Each structure stands twice: as C-alpha cells, then as structure tokens.
Amino acid sequence: MSERHYLRPTAFVDAPFGLDGKVARLAGGLGWFSALEVTKLAGDRIVSAELIPIDQAAEAAARLGPDAERAWRNLTTPRGPLTLGERVVRLDQPQTVGILNVTPDSFSDGGRFVGPGEAVDAGFAMASAGAAIVDVGGESTRPGAKPVWEGDEIERVVPVIEQLARSGTAVSIDTRKAAVMEASLAAGAAMVNDVSALTFDERAAGVIADAGAPVVLMHHQGPPETMQEAPLYDRPVAYAVYDWLEARIEAAEAAGIARERIVVDPGIGFGKTVRHNLQLLNSLALLHGLGCAVMLGASRKRTIGALSGEAPPDQRLAGSLALALKGAEQGAQLLRVHDVPETVQALRVWRGLRDAALAPR
C-alpha cells in the first residue's frame, strides 16, 4: 500500500516580528505561518496527522522523503510575476480576475451581454475597478451545459478580446479548445484558463507551449454535462485534487510549458458536492506545495446558495466576498470573481489590515 505525506501551512500569524525562525512566509505573499499540518495517507486512508512547529519543519520534511522535501521548498519559495503581453501581474499579493462571460447560458450572468460592445464596456469597467486580468469566456461550463462549436465560441470572444487587449487590458481566454486558444491568443489574449487542465483537446498543450503563455490548470471530475450527478472521491478530496493537479503540472511541463507559467485552480463546483467544496476551501493552502500560483474561483457558486437559504446567483455577493477573503488568507494569488469593485474593496481593507500589522510597532 503506497504511503505519502502532505504538508499544509497552518497557524497563521499577522506578522513575523520577534518570531525569527518560528514562522515562514507563504509563497512570497502576505501570509506567515507558524506550523505545518503533516498528514500521512496510506492508500485512500488518513493514518496520521500532526502539527510540526516551523523551526522543525525543514528537518521533518527531509526525513519524510523527496515529496515532502519538495513541498516544503515550494511552500516557502516566492512566486514570480505573470507576464501577460505588456502587463506584469505581481503575485506577492492577491489579485482580482474579472469574469466576463459572453455566453447565453452561463449560470450567473449568461445572456447579460447581447453584443460585443456591451461586453467590452463591462471589461473596461472591471479593469478600471482594479481587476488585474479580465477572463473572457464564450462557452458555459456550468453543470449540465452542452458543448459549444468552436466556430461559435471564436465568434463570441475574439471581437471582445481584440478591443480589450488593444486598450492595454490584460486578457485571458477561458476555453478548453485549441482552435479557440489560437484565435484568442492571436487576438491579444495573453493567458489561457482551461477548466479541463489540457485534457479536453490534445493540441491545447502544444498551442500554449508554442505561444509561451501562462495557463490555468483547473481540477474537474467529469464533463460539465454530468459532473454534478454523483461526485465521488476514493480518498479525502483535498489530497485527491492535489495529486491530480500534480500529474497535470507534470504533463504540462512535459509538453514544454514552464512551471513558472502554470497556475492551479481547485475547481470549486466542478464535480464536487457542497461538502467537498468546503473541505477544499479549508485546505486551500495545501496547494502551494505544488510550486505554482493558486487561483480560486468560488464567486457566486452553488455552495454559497446551499448555505444561505438557496439564494440565487445574483444574491450571493456576501458569500462570494467571504470566500474571496478566505482564499486571500490562505495565500491564493488570483481570485476569479464576478463582482470586481466589491472584491477589490474587500481586498483593500484586508490589505490595510496586513499593512498595519507589518508596520513598525
């Protein structure tokens, strides 16, 4: 039976002052942690879990083997910035990614933008409000959604991308299809956000490698049409997601995509129950052990509705902000959201608290 140890940062503190050797900085961001939760799995079962103080962490990781030693290095190594065309997005603090769906059937805002002009105006508004990146999508991947022909998808997204990119906005394309990636990158998109983590289209990895573009690899279980019918995992979901993303990172690297250009996303709501989603959100810091930037997309998701009297998507702002701040607290570098001005304001207040904690006493 195979055994493996997983390292999750925990026991976060406000500032490192007076705690030399007792805290570590998480991935070069604005969080410091004073302990590691080390969990041992044998097959599909947790067989032990312990808290290790940071002053013992490096020695413990080395003793536990190469996987743990590599995860410890990844946890404490800063993430470099993402280069998106002429724009550089720093990852030493949480950044907002605005969701711009030009679809008729997305779960929250489908059909909102009936023409490219309205979508472009919305993208400009997101960038003006503080979104570091605007993520344009032309195919809904909500539960039960049907695939869209790549020609229709290209027709939806390219005019919007061209105008946003021409203005200097950093744009990513949310797609699973290599042909859409090619057309969007040619139109000015500078990053690809693939909810299939390069498993849907066998040409996708090569397109991204050739372009030298950053890519978001998102965990999912099953296609959108069926992913929410009966989500099931053979072990605790956080560790299943970690291992799956690790394998996808290795596949992307083998295709020629540098690790520093890879972002991982736990895929909240993609083949997961409410309980799975909450467990993932509580364990989000674990994913920094993969050595990539982390993006969290929990905005207006079904989990918020389930915890708030079945509130519809357009009434889930408060829950979305709560989850965005949960992500920031655990070091997520990118927060993908529908409500950009409100999220930016929440992060500015959060950042103010961090800055006050880091000011000389």
For 306-351, how does the pLDDT look when each residue is reduced to its tens digit (9 = 90+)? 999 999 999 999 999 999 999 999 999 999 999 999 999 999 999 9
Q: What does DSSP say about strands 32-42 and 24-25: parallel, antiparallel, or unpaired?
A: antiparallel
pLDDT of residue 228: 78
Superfamily of domain 82-358: Dihydropteroate synthase-like (3.20.20.20)
Cα atoms in the Cβ-side hemisphere of radius 13 Å centred on 49 = 8
Given 156, 272, 336, 354, the catalytic residue = 336
Which residue stretches of 105-229 are H helix? 116-129, 150-166, 178-187, 204-211
Catalytic residue among 301, 302, 316, 354: 301
Instruction: Give Cβ neighbours of residue 6 (< 8 Å, ≥ 6 apart).
Output: 38, 39, 40, 41, 71, 238, 239, 242, 286, 289
Q: How far apart are CA 326 and CA 298, in angstroms?
A: 10
Mean pLDDT check: name the lowest of 100-114, 122-136, 157-171, 177-191: 100-114
Using alpha carbons, select from 40, 37, 61 the residue that is nearest to residue 50: 37
Kindly give the residue spans of alpha helices, DSSP state H, lying in 4-80: 57-64, 66-75
Q: What is the model's pLDDT at position 201?
A: 96
How many angstroms separate the CA atoms of 37 and 60, rounded? 11
52 beta partners: 36
Residue 180 and residue 191: Cα distance in Å, rounded?
12
Q: Tokens 């997305």 belong to which residue?
A: 106
Q: Give me the pLDDT at residue 361, please.
A: 67
Average pLDDT over residues 279-300: 98
| Residue 109, pLDDT above cutoff 60 | no
Indicate if 272 belongs to the active site. no
Q: What residues contact 194, with CB distance under 8 A and at least 6 apart?
A: 175, 176, 200, 204, 215, 216, 217, 218
Tens-digit pLDDT profile for residues 164-208 = 999 999 999 999 999 999 999 999 999 999 999 999 999 999 999
CATH 3.20.20.20 domain position(s) in the chain = 82-358
Tell me: the pLDDT tens digits for 232-270?
898 999 999 999 999 999 999 999 999 999 999 999 999
DSSP secondary structure code for residue 130 in this structure? T
- Give the pLDDT of residue 147: 82
As to burial, measured by CB atoms within 10 angstroms (0-12 exposed, 13-18 middle, 19+ buried), residue 208 is: buried
| C-alpha–C-alpha distance, residues 250 and 230, integer Å | 28
Whether the per-residue pLDDT at 223 is higher than 90: the answer is: no
Active site residue 45: no
User: CA 123, CA 177: separation in Å to the nearest integer?
Assistant: 22
